[in-house]
């Protein structure tokens, strides 16, 4: 069976620590796969805020996620220190990709690699819109 392989960038523009809550655990006693996507969402929000953006206002346009990919690498447990790295790339006419690397511990063991496709979106018209050049500059740094 073919496996998903996410090619992560060599460097990341942003990192944030995210606490692992007891409610993040599943019946297996570790962080569930659905929670990993929620952790990517939190990391994305923090990354955007670090550039004075939100998902609803990035240089006057909103963002909507068009796709997501996660490659699970290691279990994550309550009480472990989680750090999320985020960077933007693959800029196109109406969107870009965000890449994520979730790590734990002082050795920064990779828990998960992720990628989300983000499309610039006008929520009032329910249509994709062009990626503002200023946003591309800001996100690319």
Task: For residue range 75-125, list pLDDT tens digits in order.
Answer: 999 999 999 999 999 999 999 999 999 999 999 999 999 999 999 999 999
Structure tokens at 141: 């740094």
Which pair of structure tokens corresponds to residue 24?
Answer: 């993040």
The label of the residue with tokens 């960077």 reads 87
Residue 25 CB-density burial (10 A; 0-12 exposed, 13-18 middle, 19+ buried) = middle
Strand partners, 122: 127
Bridge partners of 81, per DSSP, are: none
**14-43: per-residue pLDDT in tens?**
999 999 999 999 999 999 999 999 999 999
Phi and psi at 55, nearest 5°, equal -70, -20
Contact 100, 40 (CB under 8 A): yes
**pLDDT at res. 132:** 98
Residue 2 has what pLDDT? Answer: 87
């Amino acid at each position: 069976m073919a496996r998903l392989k996410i090619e992560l960038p060599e460097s990341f523009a942003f990192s944030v620590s995210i606490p692992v809550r007891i409610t993040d655990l599943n019946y297996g006693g570790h962080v569930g796969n659905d929670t990993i996507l929620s952790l990517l969402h939190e990391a994305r929000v923090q990354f955007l805020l670090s550039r004075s953006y939100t998902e609803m206002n990035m240089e006057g346009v909103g963002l909507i996620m068009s796709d997501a990919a996660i490659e699970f690498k290691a279990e994550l447990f309550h009480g472990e220190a989680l750090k999320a790295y985020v960077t933007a790339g693959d800029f196109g006419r109406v969107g870009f990709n965000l890449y994520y690397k979730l790590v734990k511990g002082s050795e920064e063991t990779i828990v998960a690699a992720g990628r989300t496709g983000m499309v610039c979106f006008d929520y009032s018209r329910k249509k994709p819109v062009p990626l503002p050049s200023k946003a591309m500059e800001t996100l690319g740094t």
